[in-house]
A and B are shown apart, each in its own frame.
Chain A
Amino acid sequence: MMRCDDVTELLLAPDRMPDPELEQHVAACHACAHIARGLARLDSIVASSVLVEPPRELQRKLAQLAALMAQPRPVPWYRRPINFDWLVLRPNLVAAQGLAAVMVALASWQVFGWFNLFRPVIGDVGYAMQLVVASPAVAYLGGLQIDLQSLTLWSLVGIGGWLVSENGAIGSRLSSLTQRLRLP
């Protein structure tokens, strides 16, 4: 037989499971029924009172904060979805791809043409040196000096032009001098 004090204990237990004996006692005992009703009402009152609506001003500030902090974070390259947009045919892209294909074909022809010059050179240093001298790389390096000289010369011409231009160091002084002397 359950005692009233035990019933109070059980009614207050946080993880109370349905207990037929307890229900029977509460149904029969007025005092325990009173406590059970009181605790149930306490639960409902407290549950509806613990939630407090924030003031309007705070809600407004929080909304502003959320909007302010909303900045898309950069996604690392390995997490980015693969994009196949480049496969879509566009006139400019097709032209560029066509040009690239022609250049690759020409380059391949050059390279494979040079490869054809190869013969076994093991032990034949003289022949190897002939091959090196005849290679397009040496021909290119031979022309490099002339290219660099031309580049330097034309750079100097460009720098000189800029110096005497309106915005250049000499040109700007000349124009201010002209204005000061009121020359036509």
Chain B
Amino acid sequence: MAEPSAVLVRRAQAGDKDALSALVQSQQTYVYSIAMSLMHNPADAADMTQEAFVRLLRSLHTYRAETKFTTWLYRLVTNICLDGLRRRGRGVDSLDEPTGSHSGEDAVTPGERLADKDRWTHPEEEVELRESAAEVRNALSRLPTAQRLALTLHYFEEMRYEDVAEVMDLPLNTVKSHIRRGKERLALLLSNQVSFDPSASSRLRMSGNDAL
């Protein structure tokens, strides 16, 4: 996350062409990434990104530096994307809705966990992690909206949990829970193809069930 300098933001607010260009250029990847994370579709994400920047440039003078600029911008993008999803008639699960297990794979008995224990002793079976970005994004797209958005923001550089909570307008603990569960689920989704062997997966599933 590249937080633009206060000077750059002030110059952009005053209508400085170079500052506006620099601001847009420094934020376009982050804004597009959030839009991609929520819309799942490059064309829709591009539309939302453009709409977000139009609104940003129109309302830039209202930014008062009481919050981080990036937090303000990402919240704007998030709201635009959620509205966009609703307009397109695509279901949006509430961000503050508790997102628990979505499939039966999370239900693992202690017996199964114990049975899987011995597989940890065979590191030679572990394969190298060679997930392509597309596969990771595919796995991310299978997460509930709140977990996906929380994880996307969490993996932006320098984005603190407090910032993620502010962007998503959720309590800090809810955001931490979304990130934790999202990471678990992501580890499980990617474990079938890559490094985690089944016993590790079952321990993660177990851990996920404990957290619910």
Binding site for B on A (CB under 8 A): 4-5, 8-9, 12-15, 30-31, 34-35, 37-39, 41-43, 45-55, 57-59, 61-63, 65-67, 69-73, 75
| Nearest opposing residue in chain B for A73, CB measure | B15
Interface of B is mostly: helix
- Residue-wise interface mask of B (31-60) relative to A, using a CB-CB cutoff of 8 A (1 in contact, 0 not): 011001100001001100110011001100
**Is the Cβ of B17 less than 8 Å from the Cβ of A70?**
yes
Q: A42-B186, A58-B46 are in contact. Are A49 and B137 (CB under 8 A)?
A: yes
Interface of A is mostly: helix
| A38 to B192 Cα, complex, angstroms | 12
CB B183 to nearest CB in A, in angstroms, measures 6
CB A78 to nearest CB in B, in angstroms, measures 16
What are 30 inter-chain pairs, A to B, with CB distance below 8 A? A4-B203, A8-B203, A8-B206, A12-B183, A14-B154, A14-B180, A30-B123, A31-B121, A31-B200, A34-B197, A35-B200, A39-B183, A39-B187, A45-B190, A46-B140, A47-B155, A48-B133, A51-B30, A51-B33, A54-B29, A54-B46, A58-B28, A58-B50, A62-B49, A66-B24, A67-B17, A69-B54, A69-B57, A73-B61, A75-B14
| A35 to B205 Cα, complex, angstroms | 13
**Is the Cβ of A63 less than 8 Å from the Cβ of B24?**
yes
Interface bin, chain B: 35 or more
B16 is an interface residue with CB less than 8 A from chain A: yes
Q: A15-B161, A47-B155 are in contact. Are A63 and B200 (CB under 8 A)?
A: no
CB B36 to nearest CB in A, in angstroms, measures 5
* Residues of chain B with a CB closer than 8 A to A39's CB: 183, 187
**Is the Cβ of B183 less than 8 Å from the Cβ of A50?**
no
Partner of B123, one of A12, A34, A49: A34
**Is the Cβ of B155 less than 8 Å from the Cβ of A46?**
yes
- Residue-wise interface mask of B (109-124) relative to A, using a CB-CB cutoff of 8 A (1 in contact, 0 not): 0000000010011010
* Residues of chain B with a CB closer than 8 A to A13's CB: 180
| A102 to B126 Cα, complex, angstroms | 99
* Residues of chain B with a CB closer than 8 A to A12's CB: 180, 183-184, 204, 207
**Is the Cβ of A50 less than 8 Å from the Cβ of B152?**
yes
B80 is an interface residue with CB less than 8 A from chain A: no
* Residues of chain A with a CB closer than 8 A to B8's CB: none
* Residues of chain B with a CB closer than 8 A to A41's CB: 129, 195
| Nearest opposing residue in chain B for A58, CB measure | B46
* Residues of chain A with a CB closer than 8 A to B13's CB: 73
Q: A31-B117, A46-B155, A72-B14 are in contact. Are A62 and B50 (CB under 8 A)?
A: yes
| Nearest opposing residue in chain B for A69, CB measure | B57
| Nearest opposing residue in chain A for B175, CB measure | A14
* Residues of chain B with a CB closer than 8 A to A9's CB: 207, 210
| A47 to B155 Cα, complex, angstroms | 5
CB B203 to nearest CB in A, in angstroms, measures 5
| A45 to B189 Cα, complex, angstroms | 13
CB B208 to nearest CB in A, in angstroms, measures 9
| A52 to B46 Cα, complex, angstroms | 11
* Residues of chain A with a CB closer than 8 A to B99's CB: none
* Residues of chain B with a CB closer than 8 A to A4's CB: 203
| A180 to B150 Cα, complex, angstroms | 86
| A38 to B20 Cα, complex, angstroms | 41
* Residues of chain B with a CB closer than 8 A to A67's CB: 17, 20-21
CB A181 to nearest CB in B, in angstroms, measures 62
* Residues of chain B with a CB closer than 8 A to A63's CB: 21, 24-25
Partner of A65, one of B30, B37, B50, B137: B50
| Nearest opposing residue in chain B for A9, CB measure | B207
Q: Besides the contacts A15-B161, A41-B195, what 16 more A-B pairs have beta carbons closer than 8 Å? A: A4-B203, A14-B180, A30-B123, A34-B200, A38-B195, A38-B200, A45-B131, A50-B37, A50-B155, A52-B32, A62-B24, A62-B28, A62-B49, A67-B17, A67-B21, A70-B15
